[in-house]
Chains A and B, each alone.
Chain A
């Protein structure tokens, strides 16, 4: 149970490590350090009184009862530790920042990505795609003259990818996931077998597999492949040299039998009702088993203090008793090592609010996210849309190749949840049938099947390179209920990405033509996210894959952290998570950041166990 310790007691202990944020990054670091015998305190800004199923049921009931089912609908509004919510995003007027939501939108592009500030962080409502990056993604500058190279390569990260696949409980088959340079050690098996392709995937694959598409000079041969997913499938008895794998079910301080296999609830975002999907509470619960981890929820790290020696001396916190009142107490926490794992936006916000922009001014800069282009069509036959997990398959063949010199690469997901994301289906279809088509009775039933069960939606996840001008800042005019500075976002979509978006739209037309599907894609210029590019307009959605802001590099001149995610400026400070990534390729970020967290935890443990205790001033 997180609340075994109170703030006064925690403040009296000098921990080996203080971890800010209980998301997947922080949870993995905490668990790994504790398993190596180190004492860890985790502070979490959001609520989550117990790691309990009861908590979980409350989220679920709130979701069922919410009229607007946006991706944070399951989580209560909390002015003390607010989070961005997509319905708050407004169309921006040039030069007029919008402060409707928690995130101040400076523009020019209005971004609808979100994250979640509750115990367990954003994995409470992530979708659970668990993809490795391609080897070439780590070498964007040297291979394609774009963006930045990582200071490490795929091979360096590979062993940690395996640890991450264990921790997150990934279901996939090696044969399906071996493409475009991705390699596995001989005899490697994923913890669980891949999830079956949906009926919709199979219909798409039947006609699409083998289709050739040209991107610049690269010929890409399309095939529909199952997607690696962090949700429970059928355990693979061959895992770990034949030892097998035991799936992690629901977490609770009182174990109950939930959290079985994925049942196809199609609700991974915002919340998996049976906890088949990984969330960081699973790792937190395991970390508590060591007896060396304390967790304080409703506790916001509010300021990072630096001593004269350049080391972090302590971190101030604010602890609130209720999400409905700003009343709170304050104090300071101390540790030998400090780990900020609050996500890219909040890590940058906290550093900047503490007056720590970095000696090179790079904290908060090089913010990245994937640009999502959604395209949708009606299949010529009933495809059984709205069943399975949100996506079971995708197209990986537009992710790699020489065309990346000219424009961004892209990854395609086939959506089992139909047009939900772009049009609000099935609700909007029902309303249109009843209010506009004047259908009732059997005609409504037939109409619903005709309009919904044939839906095909392809999302194109387009990569974006780090640009210093895409950034998080703070501004004294904007504060939250506890007086903390709110993040201000300045963001635009670079030409390289928009050229990729244009290519994605062309590819989608080809695919629909091949399938004989009726293209119903349209982009309303008055909608948020509308971007014009070379005479065409598109709606770009945020990818929820916040990255950058404390980018990793080889030198202190052009990066914020080193290869261990250690701050160049403050040797006992680590900024961990997707914020350290120098590029994001076309992989959803979490498996990679989980791998990086394992790598960093190993490094921190070595530092702490082989070096003498740092003496802390003040």
Chain B
């Protein structure tokens, strides 16, 4: 990838597809850069580059055809030995702010890097997890919705 902005843009494109949330919404969490950095730290530049290049190719090829995008993503990334586990980690990171250590199989085959340990990326990444708004709740211990709100049905916006 050419420069940092391109890398971030590619990461956001992939993240939006993987999470079902718009790039705009993802940027709003302030976590795009830390998550990109965490992924890079855990898997290295080469794997990251390969993931984003493959993603760009899949997105380009599918154009606006959702079915084609789905098939391309499953064939090119999600079922790929090397890229699949990383993509799944990116999804989980967006939803709960935690980087989960990659499967041992992956580590044996590709790389065992020191930052690849299960950890919460930062206290802010925990509170910005997408899981909570997805289910109409707040992250436990933060962003309380206010006294008595729990008595009403949840506000859930399912796509």
Query: Which A residues are closer than 8 A to B by beta carbons?
Result: 60-61, 63-67, 69, 195-199, 202, 233-234, 261-267, 271, 273-274, 382, 384-389, 392, 416-417, 426-427, 430-431, 434-435, 438, 440-446, 448-449, 452-453
Contact = CB atoms under 8 A, between A and B. Distances in A.
B138 A266 contact: yes
B156 A449 contact: yes
Interface in B112-138: 118-120, 122-124, 126-127, 131-132, 134-138
Contacts of A196: 148, 150-151
Given A384-B154, A440-B91, A448 B131 contact: yes
A445 B123 CA distance: 23
10 contacts: A199-B154, A264-B145, A384-B150, A387-B154, A416-B150, A427-B98, A440-B20, A444-B91, A449-B134, A452-B135
A267 B140 contact: yes
A226 B114 CA distance: 49
A265 B147 contact: no
A452 B141 CA distance: 18
Nearest to B133: A445
Contact of A441 (B18, B136, B154): B18
> What's the interface size class on B, roughly?
35 or more
Given A65-B123, A441-B19, A434 B92 contact: yes
A133 to B, nearest CB: 28
B141 A63 contact: yes
Interface of A is mostly: loop
Nearest to B84: A438
B28 interface: no
A92 B127 CA distance: 37
A274 to B, nearest CB: 7
Contacts of A271: 141
Interface string B62-105: 00000000000110001000000001100110011010100000
A273 B144 contact: yes
B150 A445 contact: no
A445 B151 contact: no
A388 B147 CA distance: 8
A389 B144 CA distance: 10
Interface string B10-40: 0000000111110000000000000000000
Given A67-B120, A430-B131, 20 more contacts: A60-B141, A67-B118, A261-B147, A262-B144, A264-B150, A267-B140, A382-B153, A386-B132, A387-B137, A387-B149, A392-B150, A426-B131, A427-B98, A431-B100, A434-B91, A438-B74, A440-B91, A441-B19, A445-B159, A453-B156
B118 A440 contact: no
A445 B20 contact: yes
Return the 7 tightest CB-CB contacts between A and B, nearest first: A263-B144, A388-B150, A384-B154, A267-B141, A64-B123, A386-B137, A442-B20
Contact of A64 (B88, B126, B131, B134): B126
A427 B127 CA distance: 14
B141 A202 contact: no
B140 A430 contact: no
B2 interface: no
A61 B118 CA distance: 18
A199 B152 contact: yes
A384 B136 CA distance: 7
B109 interface: no
A202 B151 contact: yes
B91 A264 contact: no
A271 B141 CA distance: 7
B59 to A, nearest CB: 13
B159 A387 contact: no
Contact of A273 (B141, B148, B151): B141
Given A64-B120, A264-B146, A264-B147, A430 B135 contact: no
A585 to B, nearest CB: 28
Nearest to B152: A199
